[in-house]
Amino acid sequence: MFVVFGLLFFASIIALIIGLINPHLIIRWGPEDKRTRKRIMLVGPIIIIILFICTLIFTPTMTAEQKSASQQKRQQETKQEELITDENKKQESDNKSSSICPNVGIGDDVNIFSEKFGNPKEGAFKQYKNGTILVIDDGKRAINITIQNLQYSASPNLKSIEDFLPKDKKIIKEYEDESQGYLRFITLGESESLKEAVPKSEGKFVVITKPSKNENKNTIIISIGERP
């Protein structure tokens, strides 16, 4: 009945509009003096009001069971949305805070550097700790780290930068190089966690130690790949 009265209600509105334009199309029988716009205006609104009331009366209402089911469905949808939101937040937090290095280092999210050392000074490098730590990233993860002003050592000392290397690192090769006119200690390593974090690294990294006896300090560069 709701549909029937609803259709009649809209039909009566259309009929009223047509009747105001041409009353003879709606009032087709009866005396000529009764087939007027005035007659349409008197009868039309009354019919529309009656049909509107009937439509409201026959509007379907939900039973108590239907209301309960609808409410339960909304609650379930809300819980699912909350679970999805919480899971997304947790995943985002895990991605942001989980470091593949003991502290923070090669292959890590650059946001973790800011968490550990504060906001960087921007430039060609991201500079942390008054420029003693310089980081190049690929837009998300650190792919090159320079650590300056380390204590001088005439031999490789990976312990001084262990926190910047992957926890699961494997040292593959160590050798000396003077091809650039000064002494460098080269260390090649591999890491599965680095491979997962930065696929283009293929899980390989290189550590270059530059000792400076005159300045009594070492500079160490850590980079993805295997080319010094």
Give tens-digit pLDDT for 196-207: 999 999 999 999
Estimate to the nearest angstrom the gap between the alpha carbon of 17 and the chain centroid: 53
Cβ atoms within 10 Å of 11's Cβ, excluding its own: 12
Residue 140: closest CA among 165, 177, 110: 110
| pLDDT 10s digits, 114-158 | 999 999 998 889 999 999 999 999 999 999 999 999 999 888 888
pLDDT above 60 for 72: yes
Are 35 and 23 contacting, i.e. CB atoms less than 8 angstroms apart? Answer: yes
Domain ranges of the chain: 2-57, 110-224
Question: Rounded to two decimals, what is the model's pTM?
Answer: 0.58
pLDDT value for 96: 47
Residue 24 pLDDT exceeds 50: yes
DSSP result, 12-67: HHHHHHHHHH-GGGT--SS-GGGSSHHHHHHHHHHHHHHHHHHHHHT-----HHHH
DSSP element (H, E) containing 100: none
**Nearest to 39, CA basis, from 18, 53, 51, 23:** 23
**pLDDT tens per residue across span 166-196:** 999 999 999 999 998 899 999 999 999 999 9
Across 148-178, b (16+ Cβ under 10 Å) vs e yields: bebeeeeebbbeebeebbbeebeeeeeeeee
Q: Is the pLDDT of residue 68 over 90?
A: no
Q: What is the mean pLDDT of residues 36-45?
A: 76
Identify the pLDDT of residue 90: 53
| Average pLDDT score over the chain | 85
Checking if the pLDDT of 91 tops 60, the result is no
Average pLDDT, stretch 60-82?
77
Whether 2 contacts 9, CB under 8 Å: no
Q: Is the pLDDT score of 93 beyond 60?
A: no
- Whether the predicted pLDDT of 26 surpasses 80: no
User: pLDDT-derived band of residue 110, with 50, 70 and 90 as boundaries?
Assistant: very high
N residues, the chain: 228
Mean pLDDT of 37-50: 79
Question: pLDDT tens for residues 46-66?
Answer: 888 887 888 888 777 766 676
At residue 9, the pLDDT reads: 76
Q: Residues of the chain with pLDDT > 70: what percent?
A: 88
Q: Give the bridge partners for 190, in sequence order.
A: 170, 204
